[in-house]
Amino acid sequence: MTVSSAPGKVYLFGEHAVVYGEPAVPCAIERRATVTVEPREDDHVRVEAEDLSIDGFTVEYSGDAGGRPDVDVPTPLVDAAMGYIDAAVDQARDALGMPDAGFDITVESDIPLGAGLGSSAAVVVAGIDAATRAHGDPLDPREIADRAFRAEYEVQDGQASRADTFCSAMGGAVRVEGDDCRTIDAPNLPFVVGFDGGAGETGELVAGVRALRERYGFAARTVETVGDVVREGERLLTDADPDEDASDDLLSELGRLMNFNHGLLEALGVSSRSLDNMVWAARMADAYGAKLTGAGGGGCIVALDPTAETETALRFTPGCEDAFRAELADEGVRAEDDRAARRREDEGEER
């Protein structure tokens, strides 16, 4: 049995604009998807996923996915979940040179599905890592990031960027511009996440921005301005001391840019009333800044606030289903079975 986990993410800056070659800065957070893999002797794949839908599901198939679980949840969410798992299996088989490899796969996640926190990327990253390690052929995190991107690119019909998968594989804060992906030595940031319980339709939202951008020159310039915001935010992060907590001055400047970024995304039509309500609740609670994160249309906002005020305010905001603090995840994809073995060794030494 091989177990891997990978973190979700929030966008500090840059969603949607990253699709058009502008930079983005996503940050990994300590909300993880965990994938357990056991090799099989046949070519079947059996998937048990208790956390990717309301009821959870189990499905078994051979070759390409021929079945779908019969559960009382929205079909697009289940199809998306299975699509990402299928793509991860394909990438693992390709990396191993074993096109008929079979797997028993269990997926657990504390990242809301479709909420803009990178749940699909985390599942794919952790799945590829666990499946390849289960056959004794572990991959470098950067190769996992590349293969996970290819999986998302396939499932999302060519609309994926490298941002989510690179961030999940590498951890910490990262900077992505087209195929140029690099890590940022950033200080810890006091993230607070608000979740409205919904999930925007990424394809429709991306298509909506594309239509605006093609029709109006000022919409295209708005996308470029998001890129300018990202570059300024990146400069602030790289100038900061990664070994110290973020200063009030840094948080104030980052928060101002987050507010600006949200306004630009709202102008591009990807916000919603529930997201705006949560953003304003965070600002009224004296958060340094707040914005939607992910594709928008529903899902999550992210705020910067080291105090408990924003989390408390969000819990009393109409339309907010959940609010939680999310620490920056320094580690990306990791082997949880190795960590468990080390813990057992440490406990034995203490005795």
Who has greater pLDDT, 48 or 217? Answer: 217
pLDDT score at 135: 95
Kindly report the CATH number that applies to the domain delimited by 2-185: 3.30.230.10
pTM score of the predicted model: 0.87
pLDDT score at 48: 86
Q: Say if residue 338's pLDDT is above 70.
A: no
Q: Return all residues near 319 (Cβ < 8 A) that are at least 6 apart.
A: 196, 273, 274, 277, 278
Note if 110 is an active site residue: no
Q: What is the DSSP string of 124-188?
A: HHHHHHHHHHHTT----HHHHHHHHHHHHHHHTTT---SHHHHHHHH-SEEEEETTEEEEE----
- In the set 51, 86, 146, 164, the catalytic residue is 164
Average pLDDT of span 223-247: 93
Who has greater pLDDT, 286 or 72? Answer: 286
Average pLDDT of span 331-349: 69
What pLDDT, in 10s, does the model give residues 162-204? 999 999 999 999 999 989 999 999 999 999 999 998 877 888 8
Kindly report the CATH number that applies to the domain delimited by 191-326: 3.30.70.890
Average pLDDT, rounded, for the chain: 88
What pLDDT, in 10s, does the model give residues 120-179? 899 999 999 999 999 999 999 999 999 999 998 888 877 778 999 999 999 999 999 989
What pLDDT, in 10s, does the model give residues 39-93? 999 999 988 877 655 445 555 555 554 455 444 444 455 556 678 888 999 999 9
List the domain boundaries for the chain.
2-185, 191-326
pLDDT score at 299: 92
Q: Say if residue 295's pLDDT is above 70.
A: yes
**Whole-angstrom distance, CA of residue 228 vs CA of residue 172:** 22
pLDDT score at 231: 97
Confidence label for 114 from pLDDT (cuts 50, 70 and 90):
confident
**Whole-angstrom distance, CA of residue 174 vs CA of residue 11:** 10
Q: Say if residue 256's pLDDT is above 50.
A: yes
129 neighbors 4 (Cβ within 8 angstroms): yes
The CA-atom distances, in angstroms, between 249 and each of 42, 255, 315, 339 are 58, 10, 27, 37
pLDDT score at 280: 97
Amino acid identity for residue 163 in this structure: A
Q: Which residues pair with 176 in a beta bridge?
A: 24, 181
Q: Say if residue 224's pLDDT is above 50.
A: yes
Confidence label for 247 from pLDDT (cuts 50, 70 and 90):
very high
Using a pLDDT cut of 70, give the percent of the chain over it: 87
What pLDDT, in 10s, does the model give residues 273-282? 999 999 999 9
Token readout for 225 is 């301005």
pLDDT score at 66: 47
Average pLDDT of span 301-317: 96
